[in-house]
Amino acid sequence: MKKIFIASALVVASLLPGVASAQTDNVSSADKRPQLSVAVADVPPTLEPAQELSNQGVRITYSMFDTLIRRDFLSSPNGDGSKLVPSLAESWKRIDDRTLEVKLRPNVKFHNGETMTADDVVFTFSPERLTGRDAPLKQGRAYFGVLEKVEAIDPLTVRFTTKTADPILEQRLASWAAWIVNKKDWTEHANGKFPKFPVGTGPFKLAEYKPDESVRLVAFDDYFDGRPTAASVTFRVVPEQATRIAGLVSGEFDIATNIAPDQIQQIDSYPDIEARSVVLANAHVLVYNTENPAIKDKRIRQAMNLAIDRKLLVEALWNGQAVIPKSHQFPEFGALYDEKRTGLVYDPEKARQLLKEAGYKGEEVRYSTRANYYLNALPAAQAIMEMWKAAGINGKLDIVESTDNIPSDVRMVRTWSNSIRYPDPAGGLWNLWGPFGGVQQNKDWLPVAFNKLGEELDRTADTAKRREIFQKMLDIWEDEAPGTILYQPLETYGVRKSVKWQPYNFYYMDLRPYNLTFEAKRS
């Protein structure tokens, strides 16, 4: 027994270096700036910004990379602003409907010391990296497949030409997959695929990456938009929400992400931390298979929409803080948004009447959802089953591992979410419910008039005309009812009160100097 103890002790001791090595610190002891610690549910497997477009990915890469044009989320007090401001681009101008010329900011440094030039920008959007059929970053085409060519006019001027007129090219350049990488570093480390940790120009640079454990960034003091306010930022993987909150309370973390609405009250009960919530540019939706005989009659689908009491769902599941939009349109669409549109109505009486007119005989309506993928998806589904039952619809809840592979003959209703990538219908309704989105690709809805209008929307630059087209598309979407929106969910962060930081309506965590400061005395 004694030998066993000694052997065990020796094995444990031999593992010591593994633990000790984790304590490496890349921050100079003379640096008095705070070290920010963020608890996250997961970290991405790479930090290539056009590859890691998930919640976990953009949360980190947003502070490592910059876009040419920046969407100023702080132009609205709720962190959902959509004003475009210069970033790596000093200015930009339209040559015509298909051409945009961008003037780059001079003397911007990458984390490896290289100076950013037009070559880096051209490479970032090149077919070799992003837009080609064989490009290693396969998701790039979903955002920049519209590009015909990107040319360097001189070292600080880049010209973008699209295949057809693209009124939202500026929005695209300020958004997903548009983060600029250093060409030299990228090609050196690509190794036939893409580099896992490319170099950017952002306020923080990578210091240490531990898969599934942590990502440590340190301040990049040559950042063009000012010296970062934190010496370092560490994203630590803590899968359990209870543990993330515990770490926040005990002082291990300054920010805890992915907090459920029912924890807000508990967090707010501590004196030195608080919950900060933001309504996401995202909507939880239901998709209907309009080809399924049981719900082929649009009056049945309209009745299903009218029977959902969204206000009750928001009150019961989201502490009243989720938002019910006015149809598939959002205020950040600006001039294209119709404030007066009635949108999503709760009218069970009318639902019953429509069912009667459609000759509905109580056919089963299968509602497929994943249990834990979308926050509150299951309780919402259970409540909707009861709401439908009250209106006379025979709903059946079907909990599945994936909603993507349900055979078309049994697919009726499935849960989905719609992220609004750009503050424009081209990044919302048209992108998601159009011919290239999941609904039509799955042949759940094949609308002719809607698609014609969408194509017209793509070609049109005039704002008033675009508004008219978009509102007609919404009319069709509401009338044909290929699905519905439930609500826009919340994202809640637990934050130390001494950390002055505003969350955005995307999962980006913007830690640039203008959005991250610390009170003098941190608790």
Partner 1 sequence: MRLQFILAKLTRGCLTLLLAVTFVFIVLRVSGDPVAMMLPDDTPPAIVAEYRAAWGLDRSLPEQYVRYIWSAVQGDLGYSFRDDRPALEVVLERVPMTLLLGLSGFAITVVVGLVTGIAAALKRGTGIDHAAMAFSIFGHSMPNFFLAILMILLFSMMWRVLPSSGGATWWHLILPAVTLGIINAGTVARFTRSSMLEVLHQPYMRTARAKGLKLTRRVVAHAIPNAAIPVVTVLGLRLGSLIAGAVVVETVFAWPGIGLMLVNAVGQRDLPVVQTIVLLVALTMVLTNFIVDLTYGWLDPRIETREAKEDR
1 binds partner 1 (CB under 8 A): yes
27 binds partner 1 (CB under 8 A): no
404 binds partner 1 (CB under 8 A): yes
User: Smallest gap, in angstroms, from Cβ of residue 319 to partner 1?
Assistant: 23
Q: Classify strands 204-210 and 214-219 as parallel, antiparallel or unpaired.
A: antiparallel
Residue 151 or 213 having the CB closest to partner 1:
213
405 binds partner 1 (CB under 8 A): yes
Name the token pair of 199.
């170099």
DSSP string for residues in 417-467? EEE--SSSGGGTHHHHHSTTSHHHHTTS---HHHHHHHHHHHH---HHHHH
Q: CB under 8 Å to 269, separation ≥6 — which residues?
A: none
Binding region for partner 1 (CB under 8 A) out of 79-87, 122-130, 435-443, 472-480: 435-443
Instruction: Specify whether the CB–CB gap between 267 and 323 falls below 8 A.
Output: no
User: Smallest gap, in angstroms, from Cβ of residue 171 to partner 1?
Assistant: 16
381 binds partner 1 (CB under 8 A): no
12 binds partner 1 (CB under 8 A): yes
Site size toward partner 1, by CB under 8 A = 58
25 binds partner 1 (CB under 8 A): no
SS3 per residue for 498-511: CEEECCCCCCCCCC
331 binds partner 1 (CB under 8 A): no
Strand order in the sheet with 89-96: 89-96, 99-104, 157-162, 147-154
Among 6, 9, 153, 464, contact with partner 1 (rule: CB under 8 A): 9
- Contacts of residues 445-453 at CB distance under 8 Å and 24 or more positions apart, as own/partner, are 445/288, 445/290, 445/480, 445/482, 445/483, 446/290, 446/291, 447/476, 447/480, 447/482, 449/476, 450/476, 450/477, 450/480
Instruction: Specify whether the CB–CB gap between 211 and 197 falls below 8 A.
Output: no
Among 27, 31, 33, 42, contact with partner 1 (rule: CB under 8 A): 42
Q: What is the phi/psi pair of residue 351, to 5°?
A: -60, -45
- Map residues 191-220 to x or -, x wherever contact with partner 1 holds by CB under 8 A: --x--x-------------xxxxx------
Q: Which residues in the 441-470 window bind partner 1 by CB under 8 A?
A: 441-442
Distance of alpha carbon 263 from its chain centroid, rounded?
A: 22
DSSP SS3 for 218: strand
User: Smallest gap, in angstroms, from Cβ of residue 6 to partner 1?
Assistant: 11
Query: What is the rounded CA–CA span in Å between residue 162 and residue 377?
Result: 39
Q: What is the phi/psi pair of residue 7, to 5°?
A: -60, -45
User: Smallest gap, in angstroms, from Cβ of residue 50 to partner 1?
Assistant: 12
30 binds partner 1 (CB under 8 A): no
240 binds partner 1 (CB under 8 A): yes
Binding region for partner 1 (CB under 8 A) out of 8-16, 92-100, 164-172, 289-297: 8-16
138 binds partner 1 (CB under 8 A): yes
User: Smallest gap, in angstroms, from Cβ of residue 385 to partner 1?
Assistant: 22
- Summarize as ranges the residues that interact with partner 1 (CB under 8 A): 1, 4-5, 8-9, 11-12, 15, 18-19, 22-23, 39, 42, 45-46, 53-54, 138-139, 141-142, 193, 196, 210-214, 236-240, 242-244, 246-247, 249-252, 401-402, 404-405, 416-419, 431-432, 436-438, 441-442
